[in-house]
Protein backbone atom coordinates (compact mmCIF):
# COMPACT_ATOMS: atom_id res chain seq x y z
CA UNK A 1 0.00 0.00 0.00
CA UNK A 2 1.21 3.49 -0.80
CA UNK A 3 2.32 5.75 2.07
CA UNK A 4 -0.43 8.26 1.23
CA UNK A 5 -3.06 5.56 1.55
CA UNK A 6 -1.74 4.56 4.96
CA UNK A 7 -1.72 8.16 6.11
CA UNK A 8 -5.28 8.72 4.87
CA UNK A 9 -6.41 5.57 6.66
CA UNK A 10 -4.66 6.72 9.83
CA UNK A 11 -6.29 10.18 9.61
CA UNK A 12 -9.72 8.54 9.45
CA UNK A 13 -8.89 6.30 12.39
CA UNK A 14 -7.59 9.23 14.43
CA UNK A 15 -10.78 11.18 13.74
CA UNK A 16 -12.92 8.21 14.78
CA UNK A 17 -10.87 7.71 17.94
CA UNK A 18 -11.06 11.41 18.84
CA UNK A 19 -14.85 11.41 18.41
CA UNK A 20 -15.43 8.18 20.34
CA UNK A 21 -16.17 7.69 24.01
CA UNK A 22 -13.80 5.58 26.12
CA UNK A 23 -15.36 2.27 25.12
CA UNK A 24 -15.43 3.31 21.48
CA UNK A 25 -11.77 4.24 21.54
CA UNK A 26 -10.89 0.75 22.69
CA UNK A 27 -12.86 -0.68 19.78
CA UNK A 28 -10.48 1.07 17.37
CA UNK A 29 -7.29 -0.07 19.15
CA UNK A 30 -6.89 -3.34 17.27
CA UNK A 31 -7.48 -1.67 13.90
CA UNK A 32 -4.92 1.04 14.67
CA UNK A 33 -2.42 -1.56 15.84
CA UNK A 34 -2.95 -3.56 12.63
CA UNK A 35 -2.42 -0.54 10.36
CA UNK A 36 0.76 0.42 12.22
CA UNK A 37 2.08 -3.13 11.86
CA UNK A 38 1.29 -3.06 8.13
CA UNK A 39 3.09 0.27 7.79
CA UNK A 40 6.20 -1.14 9.44
CA UNK A 41 6.16 -4.22 7.22
CA UNK A 42 5.81 -1.99 4.14
CA UNK A 43 8.75 0.12 5.29
CA UNK A 44 6.64 3.21 5.89
CA UNK A 45 7.79 5.41 8.77
CA UNK A 46 5.28 5.40 11.62
CA UNK A 47 4.94 8.87 13.20
CA UNK A 48 5.79 9.00 16.89
CA UNK A 49 2.35 10.32 17.88
CA UNK A 50 0.77 7.21 16.32
CA UNK A 51 3.10 4.92 18.21
CA UNK A 52 2.20 6.75 21.42
CA UNK A 53 -1.54 6.59 20.66
CA UNK A 54 -1.28 2.87 19.96
CA UNK A 55 0.61 2.35 23.21
CA UNK A 56 -1.93 4.39 25.16
CA UNK A 57 -4.91 2.50 23.72
CA UNK A 58 -3.18 -0.85 24.28
CA UNK A 59 -2.58 0.07 27.93
CA UNK A 60 -6.20 1.17 28.35
CA UNK A 61 -7.46 -2.06 26.77
CA UNK A 62 -5.29 -4.11 29.13
CA UNK A 63 -6.45 -2.14 32.16
CA UNK A 64 -10.12 -2.48 31.19
CA UNK A 65 -9.77 -6.27 31.28
CA UNK A 66 -8.89 -6.06 34.97
CA UNK A 67 -11.52 -3.52 36.03
CA UNK A 68 -14.15 -6.11 36.89
CA UNK A 69 -11.96 -8.73 38.52
CA UNK A 70 -12.92 -9.57 42.10
CA UNK A 71 -10.32 -8.82 44.73
What does residue 44 show for φ and ψ, rounded to 5 degrees?
-90, 135
SS3 readout for the chain = CCHHHHHHHHHHHHHHHHHCCHHHHHHHHHHHHHHHHHHHHHCCCCCHHHHHHHHHHHHHHHHHHHCCCCC
The pLDDT tens digits of the residues spanning 34-71 come to 999 999 999 999 999 999 999 999 998 888 877 766 66
- Number of other CB atoms surrounding residue 58 within 10 Å: 15
The pLDDT tens digits of the residues spanning 6-42 come to 989 999 999 999 999 888 888 899 899 999 999 999 9
Range of the domain at 20: 3-64
Query: Using CA atoms, how far apart are residues 23 and 20, in angstroms rounded to an integer?
Result: 8
Residue 29 lies in a domain: yes
Residue 49 lies in a domain: yes
Residue 71 lies in a domain: no
Q: How many domains does the chain have?
A: 1
Residue 43 lies in a domain: yes
Residue 39 lies in a domain: yes
pTM of this structure: 0.80
Amino acid sequence: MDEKLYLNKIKMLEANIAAADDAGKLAFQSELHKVIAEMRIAGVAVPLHLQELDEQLTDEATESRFDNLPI
